[in-house]
Every structure is written in structure tokens, then in C-alpha cells.
Structure 1
Amino acid sequence: MTENALARLADGSSRGFNSARCASGDNPGGRSTSLLLDVQYGAYSLYNPATNAYDKVNLRSYNGCPMGPTVSINPGATLRVSLRNDLPAETASTCPAVMDPTTPACFNTVNLHLHGLHVSPSGHADNVLLHIAPGGSFQYRYDIPANHPAGTFWYHSHSHGSTAIDVTSGMEGVLIVRGTRTAAARGQNGGVADIDTILHRPVTKAAFPEHVFLFQQIEYGCFQDATATAPIADPTTYAWRCPGGKVGELRNYTAQLNFIADPRPAYAGEFNSTWSISGRYTQINGVVQPVFPSSNGVVPAGEIRRLRLVHGGNRDSINFKIVKADLSAFGMNMTGTVGTPQLDAATRAVTALLSGKSPAGQTTTLDRICSGEVVEQEEIAVDGLTRSAIVEKAVNPLNPGYRSDVLVAFPSPGLYCILDEAADAATTVNFRAGASRIKDRRLLSFARVGPGVNIPEYATDGAGHTKYWQYLRNQLTTANADLPGDVLANLRNLNTTAFAPQTEIAGVVSQKVPTVFSIDRSTGVSRFVINGESYDPNRIDYTATLGTVDEWRVSASAAGGHIFHIHINPFEVVDILNGAGTSIYDTTGACTAAEIATGDTQYCSLYHVFRDTMFIKAGYTAVLHTKYEDYTGEFVMHCHILDHEDQGMMQNIRIVSSKTAMWRKLVDPILAASRRTEDTVRLWAGLPARRSPLLANGLLDAPLCRAPSSGPTSFSGSRSRL
């Protein structure tokens, strides 16, 4: 089970919130359950490494906590969520009756999205077209299919116009689907087996301890007064500060969730992310730079741990890396027997070395401390879906919305750095043409590793496998000697095909869907568009037929990368084309030498992998296949840089049954003719042509955003589907 839902700082504190209540997981047995998410302002403190102090914050939250509870659910079970909105009432200025879908607004209006789950998008299920105003509540019911894959998913607020500001406040949590279906019983379970059933120790059969890492990027600022729009900043570094008891908040998009003219002298003439300028740090489970597994606990050397990595942030890519600390340069000897006293001293020493330093100063110090052995990560699942083969990563690139399940074993006792590694900015969500190219190394956490069983220095196996790969292979095969013969034989090569819930999508492609994410600046004002169009809540952008296979070709303009996320059904990465339109894969599915030479290999392990979220680098095109299964209804596709979504980078998708699709083929030409006739009549009458939602989509005209009310609302009254 999850061992640490919330890590602690070096001094053992969690600062300002009920850590027992906020850290506890919900429903560890995974049976059908009910959950209350009370949307309210939460007051607590966040550590600021640059000032070595705690900033008071007052942020939108679930249950007053910096993150929502970690929820477990089993396939076939039902999750009921009571979402209650206790945020302050909206006003006509914060939430106009007719809202522009390209302008963020209605920040206190919410709903709920289960990211990555294959559940119904309609009614009381994963319906993100609902909008619950302050004072309102809604009862969600999610029936998890009995054949749903086990894996790591998450949930977050998704009301268009407020998605980014709510998620960046901390309105999110982790959802784990737990599986008990064994490989031996595949025939009884429709061919489904869960990798959870083999992740245990050889002798005791005890499950590998697991840890949730929910990465958050809380871009809070403190303001001079109630009317100020820009956060208080240091006059020299321009990093955001909270002096004199000021309380941090998320007030607006313009100055807090944006690209702006960089005021820092070293970046003159550039537009950069406010996240980079602010000096804020990615936090883990509500804590900035915590100690793993706790301030006084240890992970035994050689003990395999499952890390459930969830990028719940919005402002930056994360390059997750684990490196052993080398403290010899600071006069500390960590050789020989390393016990709790040595780890306590080392933890205090490195914390003191970093305290009060600017991000640049921390980076310089980290370069000296974090210079030891790199701990390889063995990735078993991507976006909640078990891989067909375990992949080894020294650096694990994570973009907003991503999940990665990795198995990690620390080779020997000592202190380890858990880093967000430096990278060329073109490989991250913060790339912008003409801006600075370097993403600095940042500290995420320190890990304390005590005595255990050191990982042996295995002889070279002739296949290039590291000691970490060989150690995991030996542990898993020894612990699972009773597996069916074919499954065990595959496991000896860390082939996990038997546990992968998805196989390559077969069948004729029904439709090809070109999809281009771009920011149109031709008028001097940035428009966030897909295929040249901003979001229209009354427009169905794409209709697909249940049971068919489509090919999506998703690209990002050369001006910057974007993150493709589609609800309900995952997609298979069939190919990725570089800026020249050439595949980055060779005939074996490995990255070409030309792609490796770019220095960015984040796509190299994705050939025929299934995902629900994917970063599309500037100038690249992803060729994706998806099959629409089980559910009809309406949902959305959008950029998961959530401030882009709130500014219009989203589309409405409709899935219809084959009978409905056939009917539409007959009726649509008639509707189109009627629409042309209507436009002709209006032209004769001297009126402008008007696209009728009633004719085009079977919808009635309705205000874009209702006036604030005490119940659920939607952009269009007929879209709530209740």
C-alpha cells in the first residue's frame, strides 16, 4: 500500500495544515466508496528555499488541503463523489453572464475530471461540460468497468475558464485503480492480468512498498494591496516575495499564469514564463523540497520501491532523476557503515548548504553535491497503462498530465538527490522562440537510504543491461517462479506483455484527423487555437463512430510545443515525425541516430506505447491511433498546458453509435441545405448569416455562461445532459 501520501520537511514539519487528515489515503481496500470533496479556500504555509522561510498562502483547495486525498478503487467498483462548492460567490465582473471562451473567468466555478479513466463522459460521470457555481453541489457517480486496467490516474478541476487557476492552486489528487487479476487466471478475466500481482518480495511475498509523488507547481504571489495585479518582486532578482506577513494567492492569469516580457537584466528582450521568473519550486504532495521517505525514516538499500509519479503541475516540464550525493567535498565521509546518525547529520548539512540561496545559487551547490551514481528507474507503466516491456531510464521526462510508474532500488546506504534535471528549453513546455534555452537543475527532494542489501555489481551480460535491470529481473523471477511458463520466460527479459492491457490497434482507419496546435499572434494579440479555431462551446469539432479506429496526426507549430490530451479513450503512438517530416524511428522501433543526436530522447521509448497525454514538441507531428470503445457522448480534447486550454485551445468531441452515424449521413446534407437557405434568407433581409447551433449540432442557443447560481451550470443549458 501507499507508504507516504505526504512527505515531510527536514525539520519534520508539514506547516499549517492537518497533515494526518490531508495525507491519509482514502479507501485502501478499493471497494465501492463515497468521497466528499469540499471546494474551499485552504490556509497553510509553503517553504520558500530562496528566503529559507515559510510563506503563508490562501488557495483554492479540496477540503482545505494542499492536495486532494489519494483514492483507491477496484475494477468493477463504483466511486461516488460529492463535490461541494464553498468558494465565495462569483460577481458579474469575475463571471459575466456571457463569457468569452478565450478569456479565463469564473475562477470560483468548478467541476471534476477523472484524468485517464475509461468511464462514461456523460450525465453524472466524467462530464466536464458541467459547471458548479459557488453554493452548489453535485453528486458524481463513476462506474469503473470490470475490465478496467489497474494503474495510476488522477483527478482535478476542469471547468473551462478556471481549470488552470484551480489546478495550479492544488485542486487535484491521485486515483489508483488496484488490480488482483493474475496471469494464471487470464482466461477467466477476458485475457486481463494486472502487474500488481507480481510486484512483491521473493520470500515473504509482501508487496513492494509504494509511494505517491504528486508534483504540483503552485504559482502563488503576494500583492501590495487588494487592487494590485502583479505580485511583489525582489527589486534585484525579480523573484516573487511575501514580506511583512503578506498572504500568497493566485489572483489572475495575466501576471501569474503567462509568458511576459522578462524583467531580469540577463534576459533582456525575451518573453519567458512567469513560473521561471517567479523563482517558485515544484512541490511534492503539498511540500516544497521534502525528505523521502520522511525526515527521520530510511529506505533500506536494495529494497525495491514502486514510485507512482504524477505530473499534476501546469507550468514546467520535469526531468525526474535520482543521483547519489557526494559529500566528500564538504568534509563528510559517507563510506563504511551508514546509519541514522550519519544520515541525520548529512540531511542537516545539505539543507543548511541550500537554505536561503536563490534558484541559481541552489543549482551551483547542487552541482557539487549531486555528482554521484545515477540510480536507474525501471518504468513499468505510462499514463496508468502497463507497458509491454519494462524500460530503463536514467532521466524520466514528465510533462503536465503525465504519469509514470517506476520501480527503484537504491544501490547502497547514503543520501540521494531527487532532481528536476536541467534541459534545453526546446524540449520543455516553456520553450518560446527567441527565449532563453536552458532549464536549470532544481532540487525536488532528498532521499535517506539506510543499511539493507546492496545491489551487486553484476558482470556484463552481453546485452548492455545495467546492474539495476539485472537486479530487478532476478528479484521478480525469483519471487514469481510459479507464473505460467510463457509469462515467466518473458519476465526473464522484463517483457510484461501478459500484463499490458492494450495491444496494437488493428483494423482499417476510418478517419484521419489532422490537428494543429498553434498560437496565432498575427493580430498582435495571442489566440490559442487548434486548426486555426478558438474553442466554441456550442460547436462540435469532431464526430467519430463507436467501435471505429481513427488516425490523429497531431502537430505543434514551430513557435512552441503543446500537450495533446483527449478524454475517455487512450491512443497508441504509431509514429513521430520530426520537423522535416521524417520518422524518428528506425525499422526496429528504436530512435534513429539523427534523433538521438538532437540530445533529446524523450520520444525514444514510446513506439507503439499507449498514452492519454503527450507533449508535442515544436515542429513535430505525432501519428496516433485510437479506437472508440464502450461509450458514446460528448467530451473534450485540449492542450494540457491548462492556461492554453482556458484561453481557447480546446475542442468538443462527440462519439455516436453506428446507427446514429448512418442517420447523420442521411440528415446532415438536409441540415446543411437548410442552413444555406436560412443564410440566404437572412442575406436577402439585410441580416448577417448566422450559424444555428440548433441546425448544426442539435443544440439550442443559450448564454455562454449562466449568471452565478447555487447549482450546476453549463456553457449551454442543453449540454449538461442531466
Structure 2
Amino acid sequence: MRFVRLIAAVAAYAALSFSTLSSAAPDSARSFIDLDDTTAVDSPGVAHAFERGAQQLGTRGPCGGAAYVFDSSRPVTLDVGYSSYRIFNPSTNAYDQVKLRAYNGCPMGPTISVEPGKTLKLRLNNALPPESADTCPPDAAHDTPHCFNTVNVHMHGMHVSPSGSSDNVFVSVPPGDSANYIYPIPRNHPAGTFWYHSHRHGSTAIDVASGMEGVLIVRGHRTAARREANGGIADIDTILHDARSGRPFPEHVFLFQQIEYGCFADANAEAPLADPVTYEWVCPRGSVGELRNYTHQLTNLADPRPGHTGQFNSTWAISGRYTQINGVVQPYFPSVRGFLPAGEIQRWRLVHGGNRDTINLKVVRANFAALGRADSIALSAQDVDAATDAASALLASRRSRAERVTTLDQLCSGEVVKQVEIADDGLTRNAMVEKDVETLNPGYRRDVLMAFPAPGLYCMLDEAADAATTIDFRPGAGNVKDRRLLALVRVGPGTNVPAYAPDGLGHSKYWQYVRNRLVDANRDLPPDVLADLRSLDTHVFAPEKPLIGPVNKQVSILLDVGFSNGALRFMMNGQTYDPARIDYTATLGTTDEWRLKAGAGGHVFHIHVNPFEVVDIVNPRGVTIFDASGNCTAEELATGDQQYCALRNVFVDTIFVKAGYTVVMRTHYKDFTGEFVMHCHILDHEDAGMMQNVEIVTPTTAFISGVSQMFSTAKAGIDAFMDGLRYGTRRSSQLALAAPICRAGNVQAVAVK
């Protein structure tokens, strides 16, 4: 009865809104900023360079620019410096002024498109304020964040060299210096969605959480008909087009960011200003939001909020901040007064560039009854405009977190729009899979095909979840992740998605619609590929094949948090990061099997250069979560968390390891030797020491090292035996049997002015 009265009250408010708020149109500054390079999609291989976006975001002109790298004659330039702009705050229905580290004066870097076989050149100019001996000491501890204004660039997920002037994360570019990066993209590089971000150890989190990141797209034109000539490679890009127009499906890039800014009482304050009752962070008029430290931002603290006594929660949750999409909080997609056509299939490139929270992406149709309106599959553009205005006014009136959650539950309660997933971490899947919720953790990328069934207003949500299924969970943490609005999607008239009859295989109308449109548009595919496409089997387009050969080594990795002298220690295999130590050596051309575990809450494992295949995931009882068909067991489904359920035999470069679970993966080391890192992609954990160095050596080097180690071990054994004869067993037991291993340590690349 209470719910009925609540709905009636909301409807009455909304009805009043329609009659009195006709001039209360949504703020145009909250239009979605599209980062995709649409021209590059329409005319591949042609030189394009253009900018578009919202003028008010940056101080150097429009943001949201894109660049297509068609040769290596002109480098992409990233100028690093402070930028001032505004961020919408739904808690106050107003904008907060911020001053944050940025690329090219914008909340995000330009989207870069490149093709396999090309060379990407990038110029990084650091114009941040100078470091001091206090902020960047030469002997800084490697388990303590430091040198916040010293930067570099990492090409996340790219299979390129980790050495020299390529994807070398050991480069340091201090303020006033520049570095020239050169990335030869292998001719056999997979097409897909990747990204780049600052990765200088000690300041990675504070730079990425300021917005120093951008999307990198590798575009492929290798067809299934010519896969023999292309070394067996075919790109899924070549089949994603419309039968009637022949044009590629429209693309939209969604870069999710979590900017944990705070406003401070004065220049020396360390803790952000907070509401004395709710403890959400506040920015009084005239103040400027900043990212200052890892002590009161980008960390976990004893939660001061009412109802959270005794909990140890993320400052992201405490702060009340909201996830941005392409630099805008809760944007209107595609714009404040623009529309997506109903039934149009679009490719969404989803990139979790945030650091502080799991995102459970769900798209649902708005409940027009909650707005006092009648719904229909034949709504006009004017109807959608009116619904947008009413929904905006309703949400703006809800200031407390509890009110906002309740209102979202009522407003965003319609049909779920299924997402047809085609790629994980930039790599095309063996088969497409449909999902209600796409779970994204920091560093993840997912490519999905979307089609809205009919005109209307839709909610893009960050769905609620048990906190134990998110990266924010720690012992003593809160139990629930709140539901949040990410964006409002405006869909106008088009071709509605038919209500297909059940196919007997459990596939939704969305799966059938995508399948039918793809088959109709690709009748000229080789017969075997077309036959596979009728079931959305895309293994021909998947760049990675199952690693079924011999395993060279088995490796165990534990990501954990411990205590020492009352302070937290972020460790991998019981050690914090040491740049002079090689923690793991692998041999080029071999395959290793790894078992990843996490303690003290979950952690996000990421390794550079080579992706890995998820071959199994074991639950806390020590039992696989997969059945014989590769689907989740009933036991795993009963947990309510399905984020692992489509990952068996899938290749990724980043994975969330939930507490108590074990991820069994295999990785093959190909093409590149050299030194790189693996680490937790909750980046403040990485800056605090949860990282290790990896070195790939040639088989010859591995053989020589093995022989040398064998002789060293034998000599140590002989020495111990002789000492035993000379000094007795007590003396012998005190001597080390393992010979010391000498390593040169990391080679530091030099920044070029």
C-alpha cells in the first residue's frame, strides 16, 4: 500500500511538472560528448583529423577530439597540465568547479584510431608544476605514492613492445620534459578497443583519477573471404554493417571515469570538506575541487556516515561522487534534444577508465507511469522531449541518497534492453553472448551491440549489487552498492524491434534481431562462416585460439593486503614492489598456467603485453563454477553474481579476482622479450606496492640461465656438504644452500626533450 501511495505521489508531482515546467529543459552542458571517430568508421584507411564536443569543458577549445593515424609522419600530441572546468553534481543539482591534471586541457584525451601494420607516434609534453624534494624524493619508498607531477604513458591491452621508446612504463617524464613514443603496431595485431593512461609508478592513480586517459581503437579491414591471405585473421569490423545502406553500424565510445575530487578549507588542508550530517563531500560556492593526496582521497577509511559505524569503506563511496561518461556526469545520450533511431544497431565501445568502483551497466526503459504519462511503442519526438523534461525535474528534486535510489527504482523499472557482447578487452569472442548486466571493473573493455526496441526514454544504470561482488569490498565494508543513474537515453521513431517468437534456445528478441540483421547484411560471406553466423558463432573472427599445448610452468599469484607496524601493505606474493627485482621470468614462445587469488577483499589483476585465457574459475569451496558446457553452475548462479559466467575460454588482459575465488588462466608469450609489469588495477593499490616486474627472455637465455642456476645450486650443495665435514652439522644448517641470483634490474628509459 505504501508503494502505491508513493507511485501516486510521484505521478501527481510529474503531472504538475508537465504543466508548469515546460521551460525547464535539461541543461545543454550535459549533452553526451561522443568520442568515436565516425568518419574513420565510414571511410577506413583515409586520413581524418577533427574535433568536436562541448566548448565549456576545457580551456583549450573543444574536447572529445579524435585522430586517425594513417601514417607515422605526424605524432599525436598529449600536453599534460592543469585544467579548470565544471563537473555536474547531482547531489546539489549544480556544477562544481575543479582544477585537475589533464591531457590537452580536457577531462579525457583524444580518441586515437590506428590500423595494424601502422606506426603510432606520440609526443608527451609535461607542463605540470615542478616537483620538490619533498614531493618527489630520489629515494622515495616504492610502496608509498609519490611524484604526482611526474608522468608517462601506457597503452593498456596493446600487444606491442614493452621496451625502448614503445610501451615502456619505466620511463619517467618530470615536469618541463617531453618524451617521444614510437609504437610499431604488428601487422597481425587484433582489431579492437584499447585505451591509454598515465602509468608512472607512485602517481598512476592520482593521474588517472584526474582524467589523464583516452581511448585507442585498432580498426580492422581483413575479411573472412581473405583470411588465408591475412595469416588466418579476419576482423569482426568487416561484418558490422547494415544491409540496406551498406554503411557500418554507428559507433559510440563510453569512457567511464571516477574523478574523486574534493574541496578544501585552505591550501594546507588534507581532508576534503564534508557535510556534517551525511559526510558527503561538499564544494561551497567559490571553492575549487582537487585531487591532493592518497591519505583522505583514493583510499579506504573508517566510515563516518550514519548507519556505517564500524565499516571500513572506500572514500569513493563516502564522497558521494558520481561516475562520469566522457567527462560528463549523467549525460543525455545522444544529446539533450537529439535522438537515437529505434531499431538502429549500434556498436558501443565500453571502457572502464575509473579506479574506485565496479560498474554494473544495465539499460532499462523508463516507466512512464511514474511520470504520469501513457507509454506506447509509437511515441513521438515531442513525447520523448516531455518525458525527458519531467524525469529531469523529478530527479533534480531528490537530494538525499535514499530519495534518489527510491526514485530510480520507480522511474527505471521497464523492459531491460539486452546487450549483445561481441568482444572482451578488445578481443573478439568465439561467440556473441547476450547480457542483462555488463559488469565492468577498472581496466575492462567490452564491445556490445545495442538496439533500442521502440521510441522512449531509457535509463543507463550502474546497478545495485552486493558489495562483495565489487572492488570496494573489504572485511567490515558496507553490504550494498547503491543503484546510480549513469545517463538518460533518448530514442526517437525508427524501425521497432519485432517481438520474435521464442526460438526454443532461450535467446531474446534482441539476440534474434541482431542475428537476423547480420545474416541479411553478410550473404556474401564464405558458406561456413555464414553458417556459423546464423548462431552468432564468431570464432573465425576471434584473434586468439585456445591454449591447449604443453604448459611450461605453473605459477601462483596472491594479491593481498597486510599490516606492518600498524600500516597497510599492498603486496603480491607477500612482497611490495621493488623496481630492482625481477619477480617472474618467462620464456618466449612458451605457455604458462597461472592461479590467481586475492585476499583481504578482491583485487583486479592486469598484466601487460600478452592477454591470457581464462580456463577455469574455482569458488571458495574449491569447486569449479562452470558446468560441462562452460556455463555457470546452479550454485554459482545462486550467489546472484554472474560476472564470471561468460568468461570460460575467453581471452582478456584484466580480471577481477573476487575474495575466496581462484582464477586459473593460461598465457602465451609471443613476439616480444623485455621487461614489463603486472599489478592490481585498483591503481592506488599499485602505487602502494601491489605490482611486480616480469621479464620475457629468449629460449637461449632461459637455457643458459637454467644451466647456470643448476651449477650454482650444485656448488652451493657441495659447499654446504664440505662445511658440514669441517664444522659439523650445526654450522652446516646455518649456511644458505641457495646461491644468490644477480640481476641487473630495470633499464630506465630516458625522456627526450
Question: TM tier, shorter chain?
Answer: over 0.9
Q: Distance in 2 between matches of 1:720 and 1:636?
A: 18
Q: Distance in 1 between matches of 2:682 and 2:354?
A: 9
Give deviations 1:409-450, integer Å, cap 9, x for gaps.
000000000000000000000011122110010000000000
Query: Which residue in 1 is equivalent to 2:34?
Result: 4
Q: Distance in 2 between matches of 1:677 and 1:260?
A: 53
Tell me the number of residue pairs that the alignment of Structure 1 and Structure 2 aligns.
Answer: 693
Q: Distance in 2 between matches of 1:41 and 1:542?
A: 37
Query: Which residue in 2 is equivalent to 1:711?
Result: none
Q: 1:484 to 1:549 in 2, by over 3 A?
A: same
Query: Which residue in 2 is equivalent to 1:501?
Result: 543
Question: Radius of gyration: which is bigger?
Answer: 2
Query: Which residue in 2 is equivalent to 1:279?
Result: 320
1:696 Cα deviation after fit: 3.5
1:718 Cα deviation after fit: 5.1
1:589 Cα deviation after fit: 1.1
Aligned pair 1:490/2:532, yes or no? yes
Q: 1:491 to 1:187 in 2, by over 3 A?
A: same
1:633 Cα deviation after fit: 0.1
Where relative contact order (Cα < 8 A, 6+ residues apart) is larger, the structure is: 1
Paired residues of 1:69 and 1:173 also in contact (CA < 8 A): yes
Aligned pair 1:253/2:283, yes or no? no
Partner AA of 2:460 in structure 1? I
Give 1:297-376 correspondences, 5 Å limit. Answer: 297-335=338-376, 337-355=378-396, 357-376=399-418
Give 1:5-154 correspondences, 5 Å limit. Answer: 5=35, 15-17=56-58, 21-27=62-68, 33-154=74-195
1:585 Cα deviation after fit: 0.8
Partner AA of 2:511 in structure 1? W
1:342 Cα deviation after fit: 2.0
1:340 Cα deviation after fit: 2.7
Q: Distance in 2 between matches of 1:675 and 1:562?
A: 39
Paired residues of 1:32 and 1:73 also in contact (CA < 8 A): no
Give deviations 1:114-161, integer Å, cap 9, x for gaps.
000000000000000111111111000000000000000000000000
Aligned pair 1:243/2:284, yes or no? yes
1:695 Cα deviation after fit: 7.1
Q: 1:234 to 1:27 in 2, by over 3 A?
A: same
Give 1:428-443 correspondences, 5 Å limit. Answer: 428-443=470-485
1:32 Cα deviation after fit: 6.9
Paired residues of 1:519 and 1:527 also in contact (CA < 8 A): yes
Query: Which residue in 1 is equivalent to 2:701?
Result: 660
Query: Which residue in 1 is equivalent to 2:45?
Result: none
Q: Distance in 2 between matches of 1:397 and 1:141?
A: 33
Q: Distance in 2 between matches of 1:462 and 1:333?
A: 33
Aligned pair 1:399/2:441, yes or no? yes
Q: Distance in 2 between matches of 1:298 and 1:185?
A: 38
1:250 Cα deviation after fit: 0.2
Q: Distance in 1 between matches of 2:718 and 2:564?
A: 34
1:341 Cα deviation after fit: 2.1
Q: Which moved more, 1:562-571 or 1:335-344?
A: 335-344
1:339 Cα deviation after fit: 2.7
Aligned pair 1:621/2:666, yes or no? no
Give deviations 1:276-320, integer Å, cap 9, x for gaps.
000000000000000111111110000000000000000000000
Aligned pair 1:201/2:237, yes or no? no
Partner AA of 1:105 in structure 2? H
Partner AA of 1:465 in structure 2? H
Q: 1:269 to 1:257 in 2, by over 3 A?
A: same
Aligned pair 1:412/2:454, yes or no? yes
Partner AA of 1:169 in structure 2? S
Query: Which residue in 1 is equivalent to 2:673?
Result: 632
SS of structure 2 residue aligned to 1:131: coil
Partner AA of 1:134 in structure 2? P
1:377 Cα deviation after fit: 0.2
Aligned pair 1:699/2:744, yes or no? yes
Query: Which residue in 2 is equivalent to 1:708?
Result: none
Q: Distance in 1 between matches of 2:54 and 2:374?
A: 27
Partner AA of 2:297 in structure 1? Q
Paired residues of 1:49 and 1:358 also in contact (CA < 8 A): no
1:363 Cα deviation after fit: 1.3
Partner AA of 2:309 in structure 1? A
Residue from 409, 429, 444 that aligns with 1:387: 429
Paired residues of 1:42 and 1:59 also in contact (CA < 8 A): yes
1:367 Cα deviation after fit: 0.7
1:4 Cα deviation after fit: 2.0
Give deviations 1:315-356, integer Å, cap 9, x for gaps.
000000000001222212342642332222222211111125
Give 1:548-563 correspondences, 5 Å limit. Answer: 548-557=590-599, 559-563=600-604
Query: Which residue in 1 is equivalent to 2:730?
Result: none
Aligned pair 1:537/2:579, yes or no? yes
Residue from 566, 577, 590 that aligns with 2:607: 566
1:667 Cα deviation after fit: 2.6
1:524 Cα deviation after fit: 2.8
Residue from 489, 513, 523 that aligns with 1:447: 489
Partner AA of 1:392 in structure 2? E
Q: Distance in 2 between matches of 1:28 and 1:445?
A: 31
Q: Distance in 2 between matches of 1:720 and 1:28?
A: 25
Q: Distance in 2 between matches of 1:41 and 1:420?
A: 29
Q: 1:551 to 1:336 in 2, by over 3 A?
A: closer
Q: Distance in 1 between matches of 2:686 and 2:73?
A: 33
Q: State percent identity of aligned pairs.
A: 60
Paired residues of 1:14 and 1:287 also in contact (CA < 8 A): no
Unaligned segments of structure 1, at least 5 residues: 680-688, 701-715
SS of structure 2 residue aligned to 1:514: strand
SS of structure 2 residue aligned to 1:21: coil
Q: TM-score, normalised by structure 1?
A: 0.92
Q: 1:613 to 1:719 in 2, by over 3 A?
A: same
Paired residues of 1:562 and 1:640 also in contact (CA < 8 A): yes
Q: Distance in 2 between matches of 1:134 and 1:569?
A: 31
1:3 Cα deviation after fit: 9.1
Paired residues of 1:200 and 1:208 also in contact (CA < 8 A): yes
Q: 1:79 to 1:268 in 2, by over 3 A?
A: same
SS of structure 2 residue aligned to 1:426: helix
Q: TM-score, normalised by structure 2?
A: 0.89
Unaligned segments of structure 2, at least 5 residues: 1-31, 38-52, 721-733
Partner AA of 2:490 in structure 1? R
Q: Distance in 1 between matches of 2:384 and 2:364?
A: 16
Partner AA of 2:633 in structure 1? T
Give deviations 1:673-707, integer Å, cap 9, x for gaps.
9999999xxxxxxxxx9x9xx9744327xxxxxxx
Q: Distance in 2 between matches of 1:517 and 1:562?
A: 7
Q: Distance in 2 between matches of 1:298 and 1:32?
A: 38
Q: Distance in 2 between matches of 1:306 and 1:445?
A: 17
Paired residues of 1:321 and 1:419 also in contact (CA < 8 A): yes
Q: Distance in 2 between matches of 1:533 and 1:216?
A: 30
Partner AA of 2:116 in structure 1? P
SS of structure 2 residue aligned to 1:166: helix
Paired residues of 1:327 and 1:333 also in contact (CA < 8 A): yes
SS of structure 2 residue aligned to 1:23: coil
Q: Which moved more, 1:18-27 or 1:196-205?
A: 18-27
1:33 Cα deviation after fit: 4.8
Give deviations 1:542-581, integer Å, cap 9, x for gaps.
0000000000100112x20001100000000000011111
Q: Distance in 2 between matches of 1:474 and 1:195?
A: 16
SS of structure 2 residue aligned to 1:344: helix
Partner AA of 1:47 in structure 2? F
Paired residues of 2:581 and 2:743 also in contact (CA < 8 A): no
Query: Which residue in 2 is equivalent to 1:233?
Result: 274
SS of structure 1 residue aligned to 2:120: strand
Partner AA of 2:34 in structure 1? N
